């Protein structure tokens, strides 16, 4: 069949179109487009043309499907709309970069005499809480990196390159900001009991968070087929985004133990970001699982932070 | 568009815009009068009261955007008003200056605001605006943004030694919450933001100008 590839403004992206077998898949088409346009398949967004004025969302061509699935009756020709998503990186690469910063930068403030460059001369007394905070923090980001490579199953393989700069700026800046204050020579520790409660609660939440990630991983089919399931088990029975819940409470534990304004600011910002994600996910699941056509009805649950949201 | 909104809203916004217009006219009047009578050194003292009032009243515009009374997104009004209030209270009121840049600042700000508030005042009260006012609103920034921005950065720079010496607004460690605020480095950071911020804002306004003036030609 002959495939015509146009841009959203109607201009032909591949002059003369592409000839493919009738049995070809979308992946084959993407490979052919790659050869002609030098744009890697991961940055190609291919959709079926939408009637002008129609409010419907365009049908996206999934790379696993056959091209035949998208031709309506006439299987000789097909027109697809091409959008360049820009340079992409794999999610694994993105997460690894953003988490590596905090993992490496925090210990710099603990181990190296950086504070003399801020005007603080002389010996630094290190409180036990500062050492435990170092272990807690590094454990957290090491865990995140390991989960990225061994646990998480990603629905999209890639993310735009610009996100690398944006996300790394966020994690690396906040990481340094918090590390500066917790390891400061004039740091004031909290009481012993408060520290133990903070770290203890935090570790509990980190372990729960890990278990949540395992549950989410098992929801996805191993062949990467995608699609949504109703999360079940453990805390997911009462809250949709239990993974975010445990993550937020884990940072709360860290802040209870270390008590810095910098840490609390980070907690508020991270909570805000995750809450936005949670609302979107909850809405998506409720819309998908509406109880009609044999689909189960999404149960009543907290969105992210029982008993508030 | 004005007709489709309720009368109380139009009345309130007309009142707001015309009041602020009057306030900034007052500021400009005191600035020019003092310039003529005694020179630029006394300008801040003469204009201080109406200036503080008019600029701080702009906080209401945040509220207007939040409750949906006007269409402006809070993501653009917040940085705008934030930077104005920082200059007004954080620099000028806290570390008063008699430098000539105060005059250039007050003149650029007051003329810009007079044009802006009269534009909205016309729109809300009468449902239309004279085309020359539209042109003014989207063209005056071409000279007043550079003048205003240079004055702002210049005034922060001049205030730096006073900020460092006074220790005002600073929080030092050790303290229970392990927080430190160094107002001096904050001011340096504020100046640094102007480097990417000004070209971004200027090109944004140029784009807005193109849209607004071409749209009015079609109408």
Q: Nearest CA of chain B to the CA of A181: how many Å?
A: 7
Claim to verify: residue A98 and residue A80 sit in the same structural domain: no
Residue A221, in any domain of the structure:
yes
Interface of A with B in 169-198 (CB under 8 A): 181-182, 184, 186-188
Q: What is the CATH number of the domain that holds A45?
A: 3.10.20.90
Last residue within a domain, chosen from A86, A109, A130: A86
**In a shared domain, residues A68 and A102:** no
> Over 70: is that where the pLDDT of B197 sits?
yes
Cβ–Cβ of A184/B175 closer than 8 Å? no
Contact A187 B173 (CB under 8 A): yes
The pLDDT of residue B219 is 60
**pLDDT tens-digit map of B199-212:** 988 998 899 899 98
Residues A159 and A101 in one domain: yes
Q: In chain A, positions 247-266, which contact chain B (CB-CB < 8 Å)?
A: 258-262
Q: Pick the closest to residue B71 from B145, B2, B141, B23 (CA basis).
A: B2
Residues of chain A with pLDDT under 50: none
Looking at the domain assignment, is residue A305 inside a domain?
A: no
| Reported ipTM | 0.78
Q: Say how far apart CA A67 and CA A20 lie, in whole Å.
A: 9
Q: Which structure tokens are listed for B66?
A: 């939040």
Q: What are the b/e assignments for A175-193, b being 16+ CB within 10 Å? A: bbebbbbbbbbebebbeee
Work out the pLDDT band at B1, boundaries 50, 70, 90. Answer: very low
- Residues A14, A118 share a domain: no
Residue B113 tokens read as: 């605001």
Q: Are residues A127 and A269 in the same domain?
A: yes
Q: Please state the rounded mean pLDDT for residues B76-101.
A: 92
Query: Is B175's CB within 8 Å of A188's CB?
Result: yes
- The pair phi, psi for residue A71, each rounded to 5°, is -90, 130
Task: Note whether A69 and A186 are same-domain residues.
Answer: no
Q: Is residue A275 included in any domain, yes or no?
A: yes
Asked if B121 contacts B21 with a C-beta cutoff of 8 angstroms, the reply is: yes
- A297 three-state secondary structure: strand
β-pair partners for A6: A12, A81
Percent of chain B with pLDDT over 90: 75
Residues of A in contact with B176 (CB under 8 A): 188, 259
Q: Are A76 and A123 in the same domain?
A: no
Q: Which domain holds residue A215?
A: 89-288
HEC assignment per residue over A26-53: HHHHHHHHHHHHCCCHHHEEEECCCCCC
Confidence class of residue B2 from pLDDT cuts 50, 70 and 90?
very low
Partner residue facing B176 (CB), from A181, A188, A258? A188
What value does the mean pLDDT of chain B take? 91
For B103-110, what is the mean pLDDT? 96
Tell me whether residue A121 is in a domain.
yes
| Residue B113, pLDDT above cutoff 50 | yes
Verify that A74 and A220 share a domain, yes or no.
no
Catalytic positions of B are: 145, 152
Q: How far is B146 from chain A (nearest CA, A)?
A: 29
Work out the pLDDT band at B124, boundaries 50, 70, 90: confident
Overall number of domains in chain A: 2
Partners of residue B175 in chain A, C-beta under 8 Å: 188
Distance CA A79, CA A46 (A): 10
Q: How many whole angstroms from its chain centre is CA B71?
A: 19
Same domain, A74 and A187: no
Mean pLDDT of B68-97: 90
Minimal-distance CA residue of chain B relative to A255? B177
Cβ of residue B176 closer than 8 Å to a chain A Cβ: yes
Tell me the average pLDDT across B141-154.
95
């Amino acid at each position: 069949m002959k495939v015509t590839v146009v841009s959203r403004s109607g201009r032909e992206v591949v002059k003369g179109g592409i000839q493919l077998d009738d049995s070809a898949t979308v992946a084959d088409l993407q490979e052919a487009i790659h050869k002609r346009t030098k744009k890697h398949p991961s940055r190609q967004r291919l959709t079926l043309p939408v009637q002008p004025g129609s409010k419907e969302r365009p049908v996206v061509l999934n790379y696993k499907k056959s091209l035949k699935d998208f031709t309506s009756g006439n299987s000789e020709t097909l027109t697809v709309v091409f959008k360049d998503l820009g340079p992409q990186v794999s999610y694994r690469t993105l997460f690894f970069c953003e988490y590596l910063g905090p993992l490496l930068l925090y210990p710099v403030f603990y181990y190296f005499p950086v504070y003399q460059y801020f005007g603080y001369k002389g010996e630094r007394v290190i409180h036990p809480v500062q050492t435990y905070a170092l272990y807690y923090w590094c454990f957290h980001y090491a865990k995140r990196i390991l989960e990225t490579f061994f646990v998480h199953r990603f629905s999209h393989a890639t993310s735009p390159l610009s996100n690398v700069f944006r996300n790394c700026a966020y994690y690396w800046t906040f990481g340094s900001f918090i590390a500066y204050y917790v390891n400061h020579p004039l740091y004031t520790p909290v009481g012993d009991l408060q520290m133990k409660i903070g770290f203890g609660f935090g570790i509990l939440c980190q372990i729960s968070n890990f278990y949540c990630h395992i549950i989410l991983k098992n929801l996805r089919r191993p062949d990467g087929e995608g699609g949504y399931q109703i999360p079940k088990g453990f805390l997911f029975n009462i809250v949709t985004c239990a993974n975010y819940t445990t993550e937020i409470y884990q940072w709360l534990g860290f802040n209870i133990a270390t008590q810095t304004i910098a840490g609390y600011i980070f907690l508020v910002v991270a909570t805000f970001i995750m809450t936005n994600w949670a609302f979107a996910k909850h809405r998506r699941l409720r819309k998908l699982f509406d109880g009609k056509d044999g689909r189960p009805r999404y149960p009543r649950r907290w969105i992210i932070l029982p008993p508030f949201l | 568009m004005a007709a489709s909104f309720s009368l109380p809203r139009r009345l309130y916004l007309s009142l707001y815009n015309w009041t602020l217009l009057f306030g900034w006219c007052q500021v400009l009047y005191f600035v020019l009068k003092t310039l003529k009578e005694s020179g630029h050194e006394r300008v801040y003292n003469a204009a201080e009261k109406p200036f503080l009032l008019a600029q701080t009243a702009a906080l209401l515009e945040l509220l207007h955007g939040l409750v949906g009374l006007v269409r402006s997104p809070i993501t653009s009004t917040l940085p705008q008003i934030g930077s104005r209030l920082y200059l007004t209270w954080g620099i000028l009121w806290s570390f008063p200056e008699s430098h000539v840049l105060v005059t250039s600042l007050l003149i650029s700000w007051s003329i810009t605001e007079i044009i802006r508030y009269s534009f909205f005042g016309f729109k809300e009260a009468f449902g239309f605006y004279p085309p020359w006012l539209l042109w003014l609103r989207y063209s005056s920034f071409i000279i007043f943004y550079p003048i205003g921005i240079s004055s702002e950065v210049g005034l922060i720079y001049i205030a730096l030694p006073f900020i460092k010496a006074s220790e005002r607004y600073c929080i030092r460690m050790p303290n229970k919450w392990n927080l430190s605020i160094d107002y001096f480095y904050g001011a340096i950071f504020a100046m640094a933001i102007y480097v990417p911020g000004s070209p971004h804002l200027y090109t944004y306004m140029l784009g807005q100008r193109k849209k607004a003036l071409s749209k009015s030609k079609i109408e």
